[in-house]
Amino acid sequence: MTAATQWTGKAEQGELAEIARQIREDIIDMVWNAKSGHPGGSLSAAEILTCLYFREMRIDPERPDWPDRDRFVLSKGHAAPVLYSALARRGYFDPAYLPTLRQLHSPLQGHPHLGSLPGIETSTGSLGQGGGVAVGMALAGKLDGKDYKVYTLWGDGELEEGLVWESAMAAGHYGLDNLIGIVDWNGLQIDGGITEVMNPEPIDAKFIAFGWHVETADGHDPADLCRAMDRARGVKGKPALVLCKTVKGKGVSFMEGEGGWHGKAPDEAQWRQAIGELGGKAQPISPEEMKALVAKACEAIPHTELRAVASDDGAKVASTKVSPYVIYAKGGEVAQGPATREAYGSTLADLAASHPQLVVLDADLSKSTMTAEFKKVAPARFFNAGIAEANMTCMGGGLAAAGKTVFVSTFAMFAAGRSYEQILNTIAGSGFNVKIAATHAGLSVGEDGMSHQMLSDIALMRSVPGLQVLAPADAAEASAMIRYLADHPGPAYIRLGRAKAPVVFDSAIAGPDYDPGQIQILREGGDVTLAACGVMTGIALEAADLLAAEGLGARVLNVSSIKPLDTATLIAAAKETGAVVTCEEHNVLGGLGAAVAEVLSETCPVPVLRIGVQDQFGQSGVPGSLLKLYGLDKEHIASLAKKAIAMKEVPAG
């Protein structure tokens, strides 16, 4: 079985070589037992992690969440074995559980996952994202006046990711002298040498050009490494990089300098040879023993579930009365209110004083997204990431990891489109308290045309586990929603518009009882249900007026939370009216209509027809004309509602 040796305090310089040897033995054993994994780049980083965890970093394994700890982000997340071994040997958990790497139910996931093991600061594995998270953590340290350092480890092949350079640029721009980057410069990636596949060199000159101080070190000489790390810690006014010359597969004769060992496990003979070369003793674990070991690991290692849940909530009590805050057509006329993005900006500014942990990021669009209003009142807590939306999202994750409530803002096309994977892996995958405020959504962007008319963001965001997806009906609800999100932790996506929207609610909706997850009944009716979100909510009310003039009663629902969906209110309306029409400024594929149809097809099969863009791109035009052209108007809603009513009256068979 795995040796039980731990070094629970800072090691002496002379002990580091033995610790690195033990870590290498652990790596080989873990990957062998898993029958998969990434030994090559883990072995090359053994001394780097040894130097960090056993000499350089200010950490306390007994208090993994200690606010003043140094932080480490393994951006090259495939090297999880070297991180897990370092954590175990440093005292974060019992090394006996290291062989459970990648086993079903094991806390030792194939790539680092926040919450699965103590000492992990963020979920990583998708290359390039760790640097942005580290920048966010470093910014939080500056905001809080903390003296902790943030370390991040990149692979040299990973430097081919553009996101690395977005984060490097941000770190240099903000002068983050509390950030130390490290490059595992082993010269190999999956398809060959780094200079052959896509040459990132000269690495040192590139970082210097981005405003970094650069140190070089022999990545396998603990003394040289620690000297370079010490010099990096002392740099003032700019981030520091330690460029570590290493050998992929270091320590195992047949793996050294061989790129094929990037992501391949040894066979039994190779495992025994490697363990022997490293001075260990090969000890097989039977399937029965492994199953028992995984069970013990789950009991002994503090961890959380692999994801938060923001799925449909069938237990919610159904709404039964018309919302008291509805003021649509008060006085007989439909008023046009501010755009929801305007309410977003003004509400953030209002919250600045009462929410000192609130931080806002933008991507060179602050005057359009209206986050400039927050900047006016809280400039120290506003960060412009430049035209680098993906890095902005990762920076938001790092700030949230350090305890901030973060709103990141850009146009919906870039928030949900360009930054989709960062939202999926870094924000939702870590459960970070980041709110993605996506403005200029839908056709009503208008004249900018198809490249800026995001019509698939709800579909994309609905598919992200643990992410709340919201679309307020008007400015008053947008303000209520922002206030709610500022006080309720967890990742969320809020869809906001550019154009003015019909007034639906009184501003008093922004009270302590507001819950965006509860469907609001805006109008009673027994013939058909109109379920709408966003700007289409006001238009659905206009369609209900047309239907009323023909003697038809439409129940209008404001479904401002597409996920989680208030299934109780929705099902009750479907049962009582017998037909449903959904209304959204979005592709009919994957959005509100799809969410409603999915629920009702399983629970209450009734005719469901969908108003939305029929799987098309948009085009330039004024918002009102575009909505009418694509059938997102009151006349089309009323026509489809009558069709749905007729469908429910057709006898079966």
Answer for the pair 153, 182: CB distance below 8 angstroms, yes or no.
yes
- β-strands 434-439, 492-495: how paired? parallel
Q: Spell out a b/e string for 236-273, using b for 16 or more CB atoms within 10 Å of the CB, else e.
A: eebbbbbbbbbbbbbbbeebbeebebbebbbeeebbbb
**Helix, strand, coil percentages, rounded to 5, for the chain:** 45, 15, 40
Tokens read off for 2: 């795995």
Per DSSP, the three-state class of 236 is: coil
- Compute the distance between CA of residue 403 and CA of residue 94 in angstroms, rounded to an integer: 28
Cα-based torsion angle of the residue sequence 217, 220, 222, 228 in order, rounded to the nearest 10 degrees: 10
Q: Other C-beta atoms within 10 Å of 59: how many?
A: 24
- Compute the distance between CA of residue 120 and CA of residue 138 in angstroms, rounded to an integer: 16
Cα-based torsion angle of the residue sequence 417, 422, 425, 431 in order, rounded to the nearest 10 degrees: -100
Cα-based torsion angle of the residue sequence 406, 412, 416, 419 in order, rounded to the nearest 10 degrees: -70
- Compute the distance between CA of residue 549 and CA of residue 182 in angstroms, rounded to an integer: 70
Q: Could you tell me which residues come within 8 angstroms of residue 312 by beta carbon, excluding any fewer than 6 positions away?
A: 563, 564, 565, 567, 595, 599
342: annotated active-site residue: no
Q: Could you tell me which residues come within 8 angstroms of residue 132 by beta carbon, excluding any fewer than 6 positions away?
A: 163, 166, 167, 170, 390, 391, 392, 393, 394, 395, 397, 398, 422, 426
Cβ-based burial of 652 (10 A; exposed 0-12, middle 13-18, buried ≥19): exposed
- List, in sequence order, every beta strand (DSSP E) within 545-638: 554-558, 561-563, 580-587, 608-613
Cβ-based burial of 339 (10 A; exposed 0-12, middle 13-18, buried ≥19): buried
Query: Of these residues, 215, 389, 542, 585, which one is catalytic?
Result: 389
- Compute the distance between CA of residue 248 and CA of residue 41 in angstroms, rounded to an integer: 6
- Compute the distance between CA of residue 393 and CA of residue 566 in angstroms, rounded to an integer: 28
- Compute the distance between CA of residue 87 and CA of residue 94 in angstroms, rounded to an integer: 9
Tokens read off for 361: 């990021």
List residues with catalytic annotation: 389
